[in-house]
Amino acid sequence: MKMNPRLVLVLAVAIVAVGLSGIAIWRSLGRSYWVPSPSSSFLIKLYSPLDTTSPTDLGNGESNYAGNPAATPTVYDIDGNANTGATVDYLHGQGAHVICYIPVGVWTPHMFDASNPLWGPLKGQALGSTEHWLNTNPAGPHYATLINLMTAEFEMCRNKGFDAIQPDGIDEAEGYGVHFDGAPLTIAEVNTYLEQLTQIAHSLGLSIAQMNYVDQATTLSRYFDFAIVESCFAHHTCADLAPYVATHKAIFEIEYTALPAAFCPAAIAGNRVAGRYDTLLDGKLRIPCS
């Protein structure tokens, strides 16, 4: 049977439209997201806005530990609440990707939606003068509220155009033996919470990093897309990141006290993207290994 050419054209257009809508639905479900390469160049600046007119903030014109011109950063890790979508757009325009730093284990007055009263029942012991540990126990009475609040945090990152999440603070809660309602958090409880955070990020089309907590890398590398670690050379824990190396996932290593000449050769040999920073992570010191 010979089909009408006009009918064939209509059917073809319909098939293409269905295909395109399928792709849109697939992306909206968060099934496709950027993941950093192990060969990326990295810069981190937290707690204050990144100045896009500052060569120092952008990491331009710097030298690496060997005194050679450093690679231009292709991945920026910046504060999610302190920076605007315009800053993210600018960095994208320079060909870079941007990670959204947000606290997930502590409440701080500088975080997104910090004044929301729903945080109240989740606040635990004071951490310093202004912060509080959060009750991240999946068995806690307000855990569903916590997940809703964290989803809103992640959505803030997504809406500003960020590509990935750096979740900060939960490893410290477990490591310091923080108690909520008289019961300490266990490793299993911490890991359950972190695994759920990866699900939220991926559902929003964002990748997500394991932040520190390196003794759990074997378990958590199955869920996280890359790792950001502090002072693994100084603490002699870099070897714990072997699961990320084995699966060719990026590792961004931040060192505060070790001399670059001491840790850079080992970092490069271990396929980690490393650099020396000051403890404030204010952008005033960065000596990348490459």
pLDDT in tens, the chain (290 residues): 444 545 434 344 343 333 333 333 333 344 489 999 999 999 999 989 999 999 999 999 999 999 999 999 999 999 999 999 999 999 999 999 999 999 999 999 999 999 999 999 999 888 888 999 899 999 999 999 999 999 999 999 999 999 999 999 876 544 445 555 556 788 899 999 999 999 999 999 999 999 999 999 999 999 999 999 999 999 999 999 999 999 999 999 999 999 999 999 999 999 999 999 999 999 999 999 99
Per DSSP, what are the bridge partners of residue 126? 132
Question: What single string gives the DSSP state of each residue in 61-129?
Answer: T-B-TTSSBPPPPSEEEEETTTS-HHHHHHHHHTT-EEEEEEESSEE-TTSTTTT-GGGGGGEEEEETT
Where do the domains of the chain lie?
Answer: 1-32, 35-288
Residues in the chain: 290
Question: Who's near 128: CB < 8 A, 6+ residues apart?
Answer: none
- The reported pLDDT for the residue numbered 46 is 96
Look-up: residue for tokens 């650099």?
Answer: 275
State the Cα–Cα distance between residues 144 and 150, nearest whole angstrom: 10
Within 8 A by CB and 6+ apart from 227, the residues are 209, 210, 211, 214, 217, 221, 241, 244, 249, 250, 251, 252
Dihedral-angle region of residue 205 (phi above 0 means left; psi in -120 to 50 means alpha; beta otherwise): left
pLDDT recorded at residue 179: 53
- The token pair that represents 76 in the structure block: 């920026």
Pairwise CA distance, residues 149 & 140, whole Å: 15
Q: Does domain 35-288 have CATH number 3.20.20.70?
A: yes
Q: Quote the tokens at residue 142.
A: 């307000």
- CB atoms near residue 208 (< 10 Å): 26
pTM listed for this prediction: 0.87
Residue 112: count of CB within 10 angstroms of its CB: 18
pLDDT at 177: 53
- Distant-in-sequence contacts of 58-61, Cβ < 8 A, 24+ apart: 58/94, 59/286, 59/288
Question: How many CB atoms are located within 10 Å of the residue 92 CB?
Answer: 15
Whole-angstrom distance, CA of residue 239 vs CA of residue 53:
38
The pLDDT score that the predictor gives to residue 29 is 41
Which residues contact residue 175 at a Cβ distance below 8 angstroms, ignoring those fewer than 6 apart? Answer: 213
Do 255 and 78 meet the contact criterion of CB atoms below 8 Å apart?
A: no
Other beta carbons within 10 Å of 161: 16
**Cα(249)–Cα(238) distance, rounded to whole angstroms?**
14
Tokens of 128: 């310093």
